[in-house]
Amino acid sequence: MNRFKRLYIAAFSLGAALVAFNAVYFGVTSFAAELEKESQGKSSEKEDGMTVMDQLNSAKGKSQTGKHNFPATAYEYAKMVEPDLGVPPRIDLGEGVEVLTYVDGVPARGRFDRGDCDNPTQLGSDCISGSSLQRFEGRTADGEPLPDVVWVSFGRHDGSGGGSVQMIGYHKETGATAFFESSDRIRPWTHSDPETHRLLGVMPWIDEPEEFNKAFRVPGTVQCVLCHQNEPFIHSSYVDAAKMPGTDEPVIPEIVARNRNMKFDLPYYVIGGEEWDMRTIHIEGNGCLNCHRIGMNTLELYLGNDVAAWHPNDHMPPNDPGSLAEDFQELMDCWTNGPENTPGCDWVVPPAGDALGRVVGDDYPYIESFNTPGNIFGGGKYFGMSKEDFIDATRSKGLTEEEISEMIEFIESGADKPDDAS
């Protein structure tokens, strides 16, 4: 498979996106992430000329404004979130709980077509065993417990000893959240066990700032809430196959509504991403919203898979799947037509710190195009970029003019993926 096809497939299928935890991945495209990560590990001081981050912010243009308050490096971000969330955890992938891949009800190891496994990832890629999840109670730098803080790490195996590692920290009372994403070059610290197919290794920690900055990066212009819309943690049959030892409780925490008061319950905001689009739709009395918000953009991703798509009426509510089909259709109608054209349906933002959750209108200052139907990652065949910006971005990644021309031809052909992308 030639280089441009690998790049395009990574972009199209979200590559190492955290799409969190079913992740995500971690933003609009792995292509955008690949561009952005080159700015990680550098100081916060602005350098002369146009940086890769500046180019990305410009290229994101239509789909995302590029507004954020993140520092340049992961270490600086760790210090920034410490007053709210303590320090990020030390990640030893071997100590995590394996995300089991099931085929015909039996745990299986290796790589399988998504249609052959029982719990496929909703990113649309093959089923690959060997990933792992870990849950940590928050800690201060001195080791004191922070019981209201939870961290989750996800070691996503790509099947060959590499992949990506993500961390999410969340304060259950204030809603403060932090997202850390690794680069896709984690092989200096990871490997695959040939017998178990597990992704293993120890990731650098904040006691080695330079190594930590090589391993991890900050979100920057890529809005994690593209997929992590209703809360920090995304659940699916794939990631929820990882259970806390000795229990049937998923490793990924279930953020449960206490009274479902829109003003106070289910707080959520991203430290550094205070200017991100945090809106979800709300219909008072809708049964689907009794326990949680729903990110309709994320739902479109789940519904959009040609193979093994996830439909809410097949799974929700857990005790009686399909019984809220009318409520779900009500949400879909509002999403399709827009709250502004749907009486009784509103855009709302969650409570955040001392700010109450509330209804917002057209004057909401952080509106992004991903929060519209059919626009999952913020727009267009060039992933939210103009054609010219997309070409400039590919040149900045070292593609030849021939490769760029071939890539443009492929994108404009409307094909689903290259013929040899298997």
- Looking at the domain assignment, is residue 194 inside a domain? yes
- Looking at the domain assignment, is residue 254 inside a domain? no
Q: What is the 3-state secondary structure (H, E, C) of the chain?
A: CCHHHHHHHHHHCCCCEEECCCEEECCCCHHHHHHHHCCCCCCCCCCCCCCHHHHHHHHHCCCCCCCCCCCCCHHHHHHHHHHHHCECCCCEHHHCEECCEEECCEEECCEECHHHCCCCCCCCCCEECCCEEEEEEEECCCCCEEEEEEEEEEEEECCCCCEEEEEEEEECCCCEEEEEEECCCCCCCEEECCCCCCEEEECCCCCCHHHHHHHEECCCCCCHHHCCCCCCCCCCCCHHHCECCCCCCECCCCCCCCCCCCCCCCCCEECCCCCCCCCEEEECCCHHHCCCCCCHHHHHHHHCCCCCCCCHHHCCCCCCCCCCHHHHHHHHHHHHHCHHHCCCEEEEECCECCECCEEECCCCCCCCHHHCCCCCCCCCCCCCCCHHHHHHHHHHCCCCHHHHHHHHHHHHHCCCCCCCCC
* Residue 18 pLDDT: 31
* Placement of tokens 């890769």 in the chain: 52
- Looking at the domain assignment, is residue 293 inside a domain? no
* Residue 219 pLDDT: 87
What is the distance between the alpha carbons of residues 359 and 366, in angstroms, rounded to a whole number?
A: 14
Give the residue numbers spanning the domain of 135: 3-238+382-413
What is the distance between the alpha carbons of residues 361 and 338, in angstroms, rounded to a whole number?
A: 11
What is the distance between the alpha carbons of residues 116 and 56, in angstroms, rounded to a whole number?
A: 38
Contact 347, 360 (CB under 8 A): yes
- Looking at the domain assignment, is residue 262 inside a domain? no
- Burial grade of 307 (CB within 10 A; 0-12, 13-18, 19 or more): exposed
- Looking at the domain assignment, is residue 97 inside a domain? yes
What is the distance between the alpha carbons of residues 416 and 41, in angstroms, rounded to a whole number?
A: 35
* Residue 309 pLDDT: 84
- Looking at the domain assignment, is residue 16 inside a domain? yes
b/e per residue, 55-83, with b = 16+ CB within 10 A?
bbbbbbebbbbbebebbbbbbebbebbbe
- Looking at the domain assignment, is residue 422 inside a domain? no
* Residue 382 pLDDT: 56
* Residue 386 pLDDT: 59
What is the distance between the alpha carbons of residues 182 and 166, in angstroms, rounded to a whole number?
A: 6
For the chain, 422 residues long, the average pLDDT of each consecutive 10-residue run is 42 33 32 40 39 33 59 97 98 97 95 92 84 98 98 93 93 96 89 93 97 92 87 92 96 82 91 95 93 90 82 92 96 95 96 94 92 71 60 69 80 52 36
Amino acid at 4: F
* Residue 150 pLDDT: 98
User: For the chain, what is the domain count?
Assistant: 1
pTM of the predicted model, to two decimals? 0.77
Give how far Cα 168 sits from Cα of 20, 79, 112, 153, 245, Å: 9, 15, 28, 7, 20
What is the distance between the alpha carbons of residues 62 and 59, in angstroms, rounded to a whole number?
A: 8
* Residue 58 pLDDT: 36
What is the distance between the alpha carbons of residues 31 and 59, in angstroms, rounded to a whole number?
A: 12
- Looking at the domain assignment, is residue 101 inside a domain? yes
